[in-house]
Structure formats: structure tokens, C-alpha cells
Amino acid sequence: MFWRKQRAAIKRFHPLHRALVLERGFTVSLRRDDWEPMIQSLAGHSQHVRRRRWAPPERAAGIVVPMLRVLAADMRPEGVLSVAADLRGADVPQKNGPAHDLPVQRPILSIKQWYAVDPWLRMRAELRDGSVLELSVTERLRKRQIRKRNPRGKIKSKRKSKSVHLIRVTRRLPKGATVRRPGAPPPGWIRVQVRQGTRMVIRTNAKIHGTRPDAQLIESILLVSTEAFRWTPPGTAAPAARRTT
């Protein structure tokens, strides 16, 4: 009986909200305002479903939704916002490479090491000024399984992992847009590349070491994203944007 009520509640969710609960992700392109029903549906999840088993991934509310809000605020209503979110985590077999043995010394009996690559978020937004912003976040983990004999002769096994997040942002400017070097350099942990051509391209990327709470991780994502906007004069619009206003 309880499962039937929960299943009925999940069926009433927005399709993308339901995909986050049942499939832990989605890939879709929608116009700016079409994202709001999904956000509202996700916000009311706990009112209808309380079992942890059917809770949406933490990163959905902690990172994906805030990024949707930030990007949508800089878009026109007809602008398209594309999202590919894979929030199944890095333990999915397809994301893990083959394991290999490392040399050991007693009391360690064996160490197996392998790497996991989890490209869990990609976003693309058509912005109000005519530029296009592309964002990707990938987690890379080094995993180890260690077997060790303790002083009492018992063999114990444990796993250890080391994580790094790669954040990459690309802003493609419209034709005729100008680029201006900011007065202050970017933070040392953010790298910036500016490619000149028919369409100017600004790329910013950073490597964030260690497992971090969502609040700290999204702060880093926003800082890397903001850096791509410091290279254009404030308050200016693309020539195409001016003609349509």
C-alpha cells in the first residue's frame, strides 16, 4: 500500500524530476522558462516522498538547480538552455577503468589501483548578449583497494580514493564583440585562454582537489564561470542584441 502511494506521487512529478529520482539524471534542451516547472516540482519533493531510497541526488538541488537559476537570469525567454546531468556517481562500472597491481611491502599484501572518470554535468546556455556559454564539470578519482595483515594475523581490506574536479567554461562571443583584459589578474588556480578570430572565444578552467561539500563546489564553479565575463567590457551588448531591442 505504501509503495503504491509513493509510486503514484512519483508519477505526478515533472518528467525531468522523475528522471532524477528513477534514473539519476537526464539530457535535454529546453527554452529558458520551460525549466521552471521542473525546478518547482523538485522543490516540493519532500512533501510527497520521504523515503531516502527515492530521494533525488543531492547535487540536483545543491548544484544543478542553482546553476539553472544563474544561467536563466542572463538569458532571453527564447534562449535555449541544454543540460546533461549524470548523477549516478563514480561507482558505475562504465566510469571505472581497469585495475592494476602496485608494488607492496609487508605487512601490506596487495594494492590494486584504478581510475574513475565521471563527467557528471554539462550545460550550454544561449545568453542575452548573443554569446554562448558552455560548462562542464568532471570528477576524476584515483581508487585503491588495500589488503593488509594486522599484528594478530587477520587480513583486512579497505578502500581509499583521491578526488579532483575539473571545471571548464567556454564563452563564445558574437561577431563584433570586443575583449578587454581585466585590471586584476585571475586567481592563481584559474587558467584563462583567449582565442581571437571571427568569433572571440574565452576559455577558463580550474582543477579543484579533494572532496568538497556542494556549497563549496558550486562556489568554485561560479568563480570559474564569472572569470569568462571579466574579459568583456561591462554594460555592453553584442551588435546583434542591440538590433533586436
pLDDT, block means (10 residues), the chain with 245 residues: 75 96 97 97 92 92 97 96 97 96 92 97 96 97 94 90 96 88 92 88 94 91 96 61 38
First to last CA, the chain: 56
Expressed as residue numbers, the domain containing 203 is 58-243
In a domain, 24, yes or no: no
Q: How is residue 177 annotated by DSSP?
A: -
Q: Are 243 and 178 in contact (CB under 8 A)?
A: no
Q: What is the pLDDT of residue 244?
A: 36
Q: What is the pLDDT of residue 2?
A: 55
> Which residues does 231 contact at the CB level (< 8 Å), separation at least 6?
179, 180, 181, 182, 192, 194, 202
In a domain, 73, yes or no: yes
Q: How far is CA 170 from CA 99, 136, 180, in A?
A: 33, 9, 16
Q: How is residue 187 annotated by DSSP?
A: P
Helix (H) or strand (E) holding 1: none
Output the nine-digit C-alpha cell for 51: 523515503
In a domain, 9, yes or no: no
Domain count, the chain: 1
In a domain, 13, yes or no: no
Q: What is the DSSP string of 109-120?
A: EEEEEEEEEEEE
In a domain, 22, yes or no: no
pTM: 0.88
180's torsion region: left (phi>0), alpha (psi -120 to 50) or beta? beta
Output the nine-digit C-alpha cell for 162: 583521491
In a domain, 41, yes or no: no
Cα 99–chain centre separation: 26
Output the nine-digit C-alpha cell for 127: 545568453
For the chain, strand residue ranges (E) read 25-31, 80-86, 100-102, 108-126, 132-149, 155-172, 190-195, 201-209
Q: What is the pLDDT of residue 170?
A: 97
Output the nine-digit C-alpha cell for 22: 528513477
In a domain, 33, yes or no: no
In a domain, 11, yes or no: no
